[in-house]
Chains A and B, each alone.
Chain A
């Protein structure tokens, strides 16, 4: 371990703001890239199933 206590870990030797800002941003971007396609997928499936059902009814 590079740090002796949790509070030391959080403060990062005074650079806490920068490190945690960067990692927070990194986490946000990575999560967004994983979650947004999944949401789009769900929306797509619901739409397409609805369209299929509509086309079946017309037939």
Chain B
């Protein structure tokens, strides 16, 4: 019988394996409660409905608002879903186990957030044309809408996760996350909605998408560090 006492050999799983395994776990856990997955999407739809009801259903007026409104709605829907990111793991103790394990937290955190994004941000992006249509966004704006959301929502998830990590130990972390994270969302909102505006008026999108891409790159590099630090701090108490 061969005993595998060399730990290095057994870590042939490596970074990508760890990443994939964590993603799989997140998907499995989330799909057990399908209703929770749908909530942010319903919220997204409802917020977009509030604007015609609260302001005016006139097409010309709504069309002007549409880029900003869809973006704000996506932002708020993402924010709402953030609290759940670490909470269930915190409550059953698996978060603590994660922090104690020798695996690099950076990779695990990144996988968790990206899996979460695929179930919220990506879903919102796919739903966005529906909202655009309801708000009379011109058809030329649709590709711009989807591209900007595709590049922007991962950044929103990454930055939102920082807020979630900072407040995971608190009982009522929900509204506090919004307070902490909204100022940080503003640049993404500005560039995202401007990209859609540019698409609607026929101007080139490249610059805005590049900026959104740059923000995403920065977030991908730095946010997991902040999230890991915040998780360690929240668990330590």
Instruction: Tell me if chains A and B make direct contact, with any CB pair below 8 A.
Output: no
Q: Which residues from chain B sit less than 8 Å from chain A, CB to CB?
A: none
Q: Which residues from chain A sit less than 8 Å from chain B, CB to CB?
A: none
